[in-house]
Structure 1
Amino acid sequence: MPLLFTGFNAFGQHECVSGNVDCNAGFNEINTPVSTQNECTISIGWRYAALAFGRKLYLRGLLDDSPNECVTLEATGDIKSLAASDSHCLVLLDSGRLYRVQPKLQAELLAVRLEAPPRTHLGTKRSIFGAPKAPPLPIIEHIACGSHINVAISSENSVYSIPSCLHQFAERQFRVKQLQCGHEHAVLLNVNGDVFTWGNGLRGQLGQAVLKLEETPQLLEALAGIKITQIAAGGWHSAAISAFGDLYTWGLNGSGQLGIRVMKPGGFLKEPTVYPLPQLQDLPECGCSQGMEAEVEEKSNDDCAPLRVFAGSRHTLLIRQCGRVWASGWCKHGQLGKQLQNLSYVDEFQAWNGIIMNTASDDVICGPWSTVLRQKRSGG
């Protein structure tokens, strides 16, 4: 399962296989420390990348003084997920234990001590001798972080602004499906298709009508009643896909990351920079059946509906049902593929030629200024 990279790599975050450039978009294959036949977990910061294989954690990039620095650590159990920010990387084990590591050559995995959630109406549990029992350690299931926000969610639906417990979802049937963080905000999707946002919303990234800070998760009222299946959080923007195959984007659009024009035709009047409420996107026709054999039936719109969405600091990627990847936003460092590297930004979604994703198994990982594809095969 090769990892294909494009974008900012000035600090040697990714060691690429020499001369191995994949597909028309100009991706380079990453030279991973162990065989990519093994399951790999990856998270990308601005100055380093974190990769995990089983218990092994690898940090690479600008760790202390120079580019291309590397450090290897071993956790006490298999690593489930990573969340990298500039100052640290959160490491979640399959056991539900949470650790933090600073990206330095003398890095150590340090256990994160989380505040106990508020007491429930059932009261304090006591031993047979009457002494109060210590609350059990929370089992963490989801993590995400940005430049100024760190979030963890436990199996009991406690929401942590690490290390403090800031909210407790009371409904026993409440289950978190996905958690994403931008630079200063968080977006949560539950299994019922409801979206909650909190953090700094001064650039419209919370999807609320009023631009303000929200301390605790708030239901995104504009999407209430619409079953959402996938979310993404960029630096200062957010996106969601509904069960009907509709794409919604909101927040900052200074580089076209919402897929909305930055300038009106003619360039005389600038469009709004901030869209506080979710905007339904009218995507271009996919055209993926063009040039195929005549006997292939023409694809319907549902065959090319949006399926999954991903976001970097100022760019957004989209996988459609047909497997094609579409991209919009800032592309100065090639994060939208080398074919668009000469442009400052793209303010409407464009297809990546030569890339077909397996929608069941392939994945996209966005760094702040980069993009990594994880595919079972090297191209399409």
Structure 2
Amino acid sequence: MKIYYTGLNNSKMFCDDEENAQTVIEQFTEVPFAGIEDIDIGWNYMLLWRNNQLFVSGEIYLDASGTSNKVPVLLELSEETVSFKQAIAGKETITVLSTANEIYQYKIFERRWKKVMNFIHSNDDVNDDPPDHEYPVKIFQGGCTVALTNHGRVYNIPTLVEMPKRVKFVDVACGFDHTIMLAENGDVYSMGMGTRGQLGHGDLEDCDIPQIIEALAGLKVIQIAASGWHTAVVTDQGDLYTWGWNNNGQLGINVDDTKVFATPTAVDITNKDGKTIDAGVKKVQCGNSFTICMLADNTMWGCGSNKYGQLGMLKSTLESSTKFVELITGLDGNTVEDFKCREWGSVIVTN
């Protein structure tokens, strides 16, 4: 397995000729960390893991020395955390979901671990006998920390989100101040702030409880993504829909004069000659001001801002784009196992 990164960087794993951290990485570059199994990107540091150990690289200090190391530093886990299955690099906390389905947070500025106490309420809608134990299966972080449970309920930790009747959620995505939820039947719900149309309800109003996105009714959505103030989804037919803030063309709708789309809009991906690409979309990911998707033919396409090289292209070649353009990653698309976008950078995982 090899992992490649492009975008804004504070890690000294990527240095210039004077041994200073290379602030901007403009092309997908292999992360020089032997045995790496996964990575998450924070605002000013990278979180890497291998062999059930977490390592940190960047402008984050795990001791009082105030120095940033070139070699990633081992982050000692809480004594109670025997092993973990997910870790998130937040601005003020590193949040870990253990294999025992418990959540721990490392307070970066206090340099200490804290266990998140049990926040899950009894679920009267489940009639199992004996009752099925409910626990978090996945965690998310945007403007807040969100947990999805094995019963399909969502918590804005520690508060239970008001659940629509007979709806089970299977995935969640978070922007700065909005949350998108995918239901088991392919419906999409959203809640939070709507000032930039990011909720997809056709207006700019806020919504305190999950509300179904009516414009997607009749479609079966299989994947969701969100970041910043915009959202994207993929249907079972390989169609891509985006909505929200479009100040950098991150929706890929190819218009220059409309900054807000409050309703999901189908995106047509075309080649340089303006012809529609027949291959459907397999996956989409959102960064703060950009979006990347992979098509069924394993090509990767991106739109929005490339200010920090987050699209994996030289800034001299592509500053930004209001339409999806094919990304020249320098990698064989057939070897790509996964990819993800974070605030100002992107990651590709290959086999």
Q: Encode CA deviations 1:19-75: one digit per residue, 9 max, x unaligned.
A: 9xxxxx73211122x413xxx232211112222334312222211455447442235
**TM-score for the superposition, normalised by structure 2:** 0.84
- Which runs of no fewer than 5 residues in structure 1 stay unpaired? 20-24, 126-134, 264-270, 288-299
**TM-score for the superposition, normalised by structure 1:** 0.78
One-letter code aligned to 2:148: I
Match of 1:41 among 30, 35, 38: 38
| Counterpart residue number, 2:105 | 100
How far apart, CA to CA, are the structure 2 residues paired with 1:89 and 1:72? 10
Q: Encode CA deviations 1:262-297: one digit per residue, 9 max, x unaligned.
A: 52xxxxxxx11010001111111489xxxxxxxxxx
Worse-superposed segment, 328-337 or 49-58 = 49-58
Q: What secondary structure sits across from 1:222 in the alignment?
A: helix
State the shift of 1:367 in Å.
1.9
| Counterpart residue number, 1:331 | 306
Q: Encode CA deviations 1:87-121: one digit per residue, 9 max, x unaligned.
A: 212211222211112335x6333211243426637
| Counterpart residue number, 2:263 | 277
- Which runs of no fewer than 5 residues in structure 2 stay unpaired? 18-25
State the identity as a percent.
Answer: 30
CA gap of 1:182–1:28, structure 2 versus 1, over 3 A, is same
1:247 aligns with 2:243: no
Match of 2:136 among 129, 137, 140: 140
State the shift of 1:336 in Å.
0.9
1:8 aligns with 2:8: yes
How far apart, CA to CA, are the structure 2 residues paired with 1:15 and 1:88? 22
How far apart, CA to CA, are the structure 2 residues paired with 1:154 and 1:119? 11
Worse-superposed segment, 80-89 or 58-67 = 58-67
One-letter code aligned to 2:28: F
One-letter code aligned to 1:277: T
8 Å CA contact 2:148, 2:171 repeated in 1: no
| Counterpart residue number, 1:291 | none
After superposition, the CA RMSD in angstroms is 2.9
Could you list the structure 1 runs, at least 4 aligned residues long, displaced by more than 6 angstroms after superposition: none
8 Å CA contact 1:114, 1:162 repeated in 2: no
| Counterpart residue number, 1:110 | 114
| Counterpart residue number, 1:261 | 254
Q: What secondary structure sits across from 1:212 in the alignment?
A: coil
Q: What secondary structure sits across from 2:162 in the alignment?
A: strand
How far apart, CA to CA, are the structure 2 residues paired with 1:53 and 1:170? 41
| Counterpart residue number, 2:145 | 150
How far apart, CA to CA, are the structure 1 residues paired with 2:225 and 2:114? 28
CA gap of 1:155–1:169, structure 2 versus 1, over 3 A, is farther
One-letter code aligned to 1:283: I
1:224 aligns with 2:200: no
Worse-superposed segment, 108-117 or 238-247 = 108-117
Question: How many residue pairs end up in the alignment?
Answer: 330
How far apart, CA to CA, are the structure 2 residues paired with 1:231 and 1:246? 12
How far apart, CA to CA, are the structure 1 residues paired with 2:312 and 2:341? 12
Work out which of the two has the higher radius of gyration on C-alpha atoms and give 1 or 2.
1
8 Å CA contact 1:17, 1:30 repeated in 2: no
CA gap of 1:119–1:154, structure 2 versus 1, over 3 A, is closer
1:62 aligns with 2:75: no
Q: What secondary structure sits across from 1:259 in the alignment?
A: coil
